[in-house]
Amino acid sequence: MKKSKVCARGASASGGKSQNEIVMLIPHEVREKHLTWVLIFAFLFVSLSPAQIPDRTKPPELGAPPTMKLPAIEHFKLSNGISVVLMEKHQVPLVEVELIVRGGSVNDPNNKIGLASMTTAMMEEGAGTRNSMELADAIDFLGANISAYSGWHTAGVSMFTPLSKLDDAMALFGDICLRPTFPKEELERNRKERLTTLMQWHDEPRAIASVQFSKTLFGDDHPYGKPTIGNEKSIRALKVDDLKKFHQTYFRADNARIIVVGDVTGSMILPKLEAIFGKWEGGKAEQQSFPKAEQMKERAIYLIDKPGAPQSEIRIGRIGVERMTEDYYALRVMNTILGGSFTSRLNQNLREQHGYTYGASSNFDFRVMPGPFLAGSAVQTAITDSALIEFMKELNRILEAVPDEELNRAKNYLTLRYPENFQSVGQITNQLAEIVNYDLPDDYFNNYTKNVLAVTKDDVQRVAKKYIDPENIAIIIVGDRKTIEKPLEALKLGKIVNLTIQDVLGKAPKVE
C-alpha cells in the first residue's frame, strides 16, 4: 500500500515535457565604488529534457570525484635556522601564524605535572613591556587572537589576525613567544583558577570518566596517565622559576618551527618574521625518553558512583598505537567503520537501532607514543548493561571481515570530504601542523587519498585484530551504582572495581 503510493506520486511527477519560463535579472556592471545595479528582464524558454525529470527510483549517479588544487607548501629558513612553512590563501584578508616547539606535558617532572600547561597559560599574562591587562587589551583591540597552548609533545603560540592588523599583531606575538614576564601575582591567580577547575571536575561525569580512563590505561608512571593541567599538589607547588625554566628550555630557535597561512606571500612575511625571530638564540632542547606503558592484561570494569545520574558515561579502551605506525591508514578506515562516522556500527547500533543514547563513537588518539583507543557513549542509566552488551558485540564483530559496502563507504567518507579541511586559514594551519609535528613529507596531502584507497579488507581485519582485543580492555563507567551494579555483575565481563569520585579525583581542593 505504502509502496504503491510512492510509485504513483513518482510517476505523476515524471510524465511529459514542459516549457519553463524564466525571468532573469542581469546585473549592471559595478562601476567604481558605487553600489549600483540595474535590473533587466529577459524571458527565456527552456524545455526540460527527459534527463531533467527526476527519477526517484534510485539515487542519482555521482559525478567524477573532484580534484583539489592546493597552493604549494613553501619552505623558508630564517637566518638563525628556524624553518618557516607557508601556504598562501588569498580569498579572505586573514592571516594565521603559529610557532611550534617540541616540548609539552610529557616533559612535566613527576612532582610538577601541569607545568607545560601553566607555562603556556602564563605566557599570555604579561610579555615585553605589557602586563596581563595591557596585553589582552592590545590583542582584543586589534580584533586578533593570540594564544599560547601546550599539547602532549609540543607547545606553541598561535596568532589569528585580520591582514590589516598584521604588523601590530606580529609585534605582540613576538613578545608572547620570546619575552613573557611570568609575574608572580598572575601565577597565584592562575593557580587558584586551576584548583577551582579541579574542584568543578567533581561535577562533570565526562571529566571524571576521562581522568580514570587515562589512569587505568597508562598508570601513574607514564605521562599519558596524568591530567595535563596537574593535580592539587603539583599545582600548589609550581613556582615562577619552574615556568621560566620550561620556557627557556623549549622555546628556543633550534627547537621551533613557524607555520604561516593566509593572505600573504613569502616575500612579504619573511622580513617580518626575520625581524622578530631572526636573532633568537638556539640551543637544542634535549628530548626525553619515556617508559613504555603496559598494555591492558585483563578486562575489568571501573564503576565510579554518581548517585542519581540519569545517564552512565561509558569509556571502553586500551592502548592503541603511535601516529607514525604503518597501520595508520588501515586504522583510520577500520575506525570509521566501527565508530568514526554517523553510519558507523557503534552509532547505528546504540543510537539508531536501540535508542540507548544520543550518540556512540570510537577513536584512535594517535600521538608520538601510542595513545589510547577509545569507544564511548553516554547511555540511559536503566539500560547500561544492555548498552555494554552491544558495545562488546561490536568490538567483537569488527574482528571479522567487513563487507565491501562498508569498506568502500568508509574509504569514500575519508577521502572525498578531505578538501573540507582546507577552507579556512585555521583549518589549513592545523593540517600543516600535522606535517610539521610528525615530519611528514610535502606530498602527504597529495598521497592521502591514494593511501586511504589502498587499504584492503584484509588490512582492516588485520589491524582490528591487532589493536582491538575485547578480552583485554578497560571499561570505565560513571553512573548510578545503586541501579547499574547488579546488572553489570550479571554480565560477567570481568571484575568490577567500585570507586568514588574522590578515589578518581582526590578530595576537591580547598581554594582559599
Partner 1 sequence: MRIKFLLVLFLIGFILQFGNAQLSVKYEKFSLPNGLTMILHEDHTVPVATCNIWYHVGSGREKPGRTGFAHLFEHLMFMGSGHVPVGKFDEWLEAAGGDNNGSTTSDRTNYWENFPTSALELALFLESDRLGYLVDVMTPEKVDAQRDVVKNERRQSYENRPYGMASIVLGENLFPADHPYHWPTIGSQEDLSAASFDDVVDFFKKYYVPNNASLVIAGDIDPAKTKQLVTKWFSDVPLGKPVQPLGAPVAFLPEEKRIVLEDKVQLPRLYINWLSPKHFSPGDAELDVLANVLAGGKNSRLYKRLVYDLQIAQDVSAYQDASMLNSTFAVIATARAGHTLAELEKVIREEINKIKNETPSLREVQRAVNQFESGFLTRMERVGGFGGKADLLNNYYVETGNPDYFNEDFARYKALTPEDIQSVAQTYLREDGDVVLSIVPQGKKELAAPAKGGK
Q: How many helices (H) and strands (E) does the chain have?
A: 18, 16
Handedness of CA 328, 334, 340, 341 (dihedral sign): positive
Task: Give the shortest CB-428-to-partner 1 separation in angstroms.
Answer: 10
Q: Which of 127, 167, 118 is nearest to 144 (CA)?
A: 167
Nearer to partner 1, 186 or 242 (CB): 186
Task: Give the shortest CB-276-to-partner 1 separation in angstroms.
Answer: 21
Nearer to partner 1, 39 or 389 (CB): 39
Report CA Rg, the chain: 28
Nearer to partner 1, 16 or 291 (CB): 16
Task: Give the shortest CB-409-to-partner 1 separation in angstroms.
Answer: 4
Task: Give the shortest CB-140-to-partner 1 separation in angstroms.
Answer: 5
Handedness of CA 193, 194, 198, 204 (dihedral sign): positive
Task: Give the shortest CB-7-to-partner 1 separation in angstroms.
Answer: 9
Cell numbers 611550534 correspond to what residue?
Answer: 100
Nearer to partner 1, 180 or 223 (CB): 180
Task: Give the shortest CB-157-to-partner 1 separation in angstroms.
Answer: 17
Nearer to partner 1, 72 or 326 (CB): 72
Nearer to partner 1, 65 or 282 (CB): 65
Task: Give the shortest CB-491-to-partner 1 separation in angstroms.
Answer: 21
Q: How far apart are CA 131 and CA 65, in angstroms?
A: 53
Nearer to partner 1, 270 or 425 (CB): 425
* Cross-strand pairs, 499: 304
Locate the DSSP E strands across 236-382: 256-262, 300-305, 311-319, 357-364, 372-380
Q: Name, in order, each residue with C-beta under 8 angstroms of 387's C-beta and a sequence gap of 6 or more.
A: 312, 314, 350, 354, 356, 357, 377, 379, 380
Number of C-beta neighbours around residue 184 at 10 A: 10
Question: Which backbone phi and psi does 238 adopt, to 5 degrees?
Answer: -65, 135
Nearer to partner 1, 108 or 394 (CB): 394
Task: Give the shortest CB-449-to-partner 1 separation in angstroms.
Answer: 11
Nearer to partner 1, 255 or 362 (CB): 362
Q: How far apart are CA 325 and CA 459, in angstroms?
A: 13
Q: For strand 130-131 and strand 300-305, is the pairing parallel, antiparallel, or unpaired?
A: unpaired
Task: Give the shortest CB-286-to-partner 1 separation in angstroms.
Answer: 35
3-state secondary structure of 441: coil
Q: Name, in order, each residue with C-beta under 8 angstroms of 373's C-beta and a sequence gap of 6 or more.
A: 317, 318, 319, 320, 362, 363, 364, 365, 467, 468
Task: Give the shortest CB-330-to-partner 1 separation in angstroms.
Answer: 19
Nearer to partner 1, 61 or 241 (CB): 61
Nearer to partner 1, 39 or 324 (CB): 39
3-state secondary structure of 220: coil
Cell numbers 567518507 correspond to what residue?
Answer: 413
Q: For strand 256-262 and strand 83-88, is the pairing parallel, antiparallel, or unpaired?
A: parallel
* Cross-strand pairs, 304: 478, 499
Range list of H helices, 417-492: 425-437, 444-453, 457-467, 481-491
Task: Give the shortest CB-471-to-partner 1 separation in angstroms.
Answer: 29
Q: Is 45 left (phi over 0), alpha (psi -120 to 50) or beta?
A: beta
Name the strand (E) or helix (H) holding 86.
Answer: strand 83-88
Task: Give the shortest CB-226-to-partner 1 separation in angstroms.
Answer: 22
Q: How far apart are CA 386 and CA 418, in angstroms?
A: 36
CB 356 within 8 A of CB 289: no
Nearer to partner 1, 79 or 456 (CB): 456
CB 238 within 8 A of CB 109: no
Number of C-beta neighbours around residue 231 at 10 A: 18
Q: Name, in order, each residue with C-beta under 8 angstroms of 66's C-beta and a sequence gap of 6 or more.
A: 419
Task: Give the shortest CB-485-to-partner 1 separation in angstroms.
Answer: 18
Nearer to partner 1, 192 or 397 (CB): 192
